Amino acid sequence: MKETNLPSVYSRLLRDHKRGYKAVAVLVDPDKTTEDQCDELLTNALLHRIDYFFVGGSLITTDHIHLLVERLRKQDSIPVLLFPGSNLHIDPKADAILLLSLISGRNPELLIGQHVAAAPILRRSALEVIPTGYLLIDGGRQSAVQYISNTTPIPHEKNTIAVCTAMAGEMLGLKLIYLDAGSGALRTISPSMISAVRRSIEVPLIVGGGITDADTARKLLEAGADLVVIGNGIEKNPELLSEVSQKVRAMNAALNVHE
Ligand SMILES: CC(C)=CCC/C(C)=C/CC/C(C)=C/CC/C(C)=C/COP(=O)(O)OP(=O)(O)O
Ligand SMILES: O=P(O)(O)OC[C@@H](O)CO
Ligand SMILES: [Mg+2]
């Protein structure tokens, strides 16, 4: 791992969860981001004090994930986390990897199979591995993850299924729960599902999919998410980054929780 003054990524997530700090991650899709766009995004993210970069996609067809990770890691304050669609998306230069297990689905390859193949590579790397229970929730249209993973998302309004799945993931030892409505979702995860899951687990909770305005980000964080992830929304409207950051910083200030 790079020499840095930051605590490890997971201890930062856990500490922030315990003190009620609300955070924002920008999802960088290697297929949709040129090197110039990446530099611009980095400048913007530093200016507006975004908390994390997630790098990944369900399918990556270009080969510059390594270049992007390298560029994003030219700074020390925003950790770069791999958000992999498969075990082909491992870059040893990132700070950490969300080792996703797709626990809402019943595809053994994405529950444990790919992890077996990835294990020796991860062990040899200096990447911080964060075991993550990944739940795909219906977001109103078929997402890339749903198609690629060949799994059925949890229905939008079935909070109990999401709660029991998240609890089982936590009991199995997963250190984060990620509720994803899918990239470009027409509707985000509902605040009621977020609060129900929040009340049932102790580990930090990540929520993403279909967030296109700052007020929605605020509502999902208020419902109990610790961290919201935004990809398409910022790709389509770069101003959203500063809007969300302002809103979330105001929330943290009102809660008297400091960066
Ligand atoms: C064992 C390792 C290293 C990896 C396995 C990873 C697993 C189990 C993944 C689960 C399912 C999956 C395909 C998740 C991908 C999540 C992701 C990176 C989504 C980002 O959005 P896209 O789906 O690429 O959206 P766009 O269509 O907007 O590009
Ligand atoms: O691109 P969006 O819709 O913001 O989704 C982000 C992420 O949660 C998808 O896996
Ligand atoms: Mg993608």
Average pLDDT value over all residues in the chain? 96
User: For 49-63, 101-115, 124-138, 218-232, which range has the lowest pLDDT when averaged over its residues?
Assistant: 49-63
Binding residues: 29, 58, 178-184, 209-210, 231-232
Answer whether 104 contacts ligand 1 (Cβ < 6 A). no
Q: What is the pTM of this model?
A: 0.97
Q: Does residue 245 line the site of ligand 1, with CB under 6 A? A: no
- pLDDT of 62 reads 85
Q: What is the DSSP letter of 108?
A: H
Question: On the CB side of 92, how many CA atoms lie within 13 Å of its CA?
Answer: 9
Residue 258 pLDDT grade (very low, low, confident, very high; cuts 50, 70, 90): confident
pLDDT digits (tens, 9 = 90+) for 133-178: 999 999 999 999 999 999 999 999 999 999 999 999 999 999 999 9
| Confidence at 4, pLDDT banded by 50, 70, 90 | low
The answer, yes or no, to whether any atom of ligand 1 lies below 6 A from the CB of 230, is no
DSSP per residue, 179-241:
EE--TT-SSPPPHHHHHHHHHH--S-EEEESS--SHHHHHHHHHHT-SEEEESHHHHH-THHH
Give the model's confidence band at 259: pLDDT under 50 very low, under 70 low, under 90 confident, else very high: confident
**How much is the ipTM here?**
0.97
Sorted by where each starts, the structural domains of the chain and their CATH numbers stand as 9-254 (3.20.20.390)
Helix axis angle for 214-223 and 239-254, nearest 10°, is: 40
Q: Please give the average per-residue pLDDT across 40-46, as a whole number.
A: 97
Distance 235 CA to ligand 3 centre (A): 11
pLDDT bin (cut points 50, 70, 90) of residue 1 is very low
Tens-digit pLDDT profile for residues 169-204: 999 999 999 999 999 999 999 999 999 999 999 999
For residues 133 and 179, is the Cβ–Cβ distance under 8 A?
no
Neighbours of ion ligand 3 (CB under 5 A): 29, 57
Share of the chain above pLDDT 90, in %: 95
Q: Which residue has its alpha carbon closest to ligand 1 atom 18?
A: 57
